[in-house]
Amino acid sequence: MSTKPSTRSTQAAPHVVRIIGGQWRRTRLPVADKPGLRPTPDRVRETLFNWLGQDLAGWHCVDAFSGTGALGLEAASRGADDVLLIEQDAALVAKLRQLKEQLKAEKVQVQRGDALAVLRGLPRASKDLVLLDPPFAADLFSSALAAAAPLVRAGGWVYLEAPSQADGAELEALGLTLHRHLKAGAVHAHLLQRAPA
């Protein structure tokens, strides 16, 4: 997940987030105390999945820059057929694999690697939803969108968290349109749709 200074007093990131809906509803996910790890807040995830719909049965999803896995595990909890969690940090990957076992999440795969490289290697038009929450300090937003856009089937979705609102011309060039947007603290959350066929 991404880097963002805390908007709360002196406390850094929360040490626990929870899955909002689906079969693992209320499951608590530990948040490692790592610089730059900024899990998507529960209320923002709740809004995202209200936008997408509660039932993701049959969906093929990728959670790039997984961090805690909160976004991807939320999709899996709501019935997605398969969810790929991509994370580079070895300790976070180990925790994601432990969570996968704990939840008996057979439709979840955890892959250690560079998210951009993994995205670029996946088949085109093979995903219904790509979740992007790159580290804010790394300024990977344009690269992540460019890697994700070709993966999404016509009418499919890309979710992006960024420190500023996405540029409309850049989205149009990638075949994406802004469907929904919200600002929560310093985070801009975007739900983008690939142009229908």
Q: What is the pLDDT of residues 148-183, one digit of tens each?
A: 999 999 999 999 999 999 999 999 999 999 999 999
Domain regions of the chain by residue span: 16-194
Distance CA 154, CA 17 (A): 32
Distance CA 61, CA 72 (A): 7
- Which residues make Cβ contacts (< 8 Å) with residue 160, sequence separation at least 6? 132, 133, 141, 144, 145, 166, 189, 190, 192
Whether the full predicted model's pTM is greater than 0.75, yes or no, is: yes
Q: What is the pLDDT of residues 120-132, one digit of tens each?
A: 999 999 999 999 9
Note the pLDDT of residue 3. Answer: 42
Do the beta carbons of residue 73 and residue 103 sit within 8 Å?
yes
- Which residues make Cβ contacts (< 8 Å) with residue 12, sequence separation at least 6? 6, 33
Distance CA 172, CA 162 (A): 17
- pLDDT interval class at 14 (50, 70, 90): low
Instruction: Select the CATH number that applies to the domain covering 16-194 from these four: 3.40.50.150, 3.40.47.10, 3.40.50.1370, 3.40.50.300.
Output: 3.40.50.150
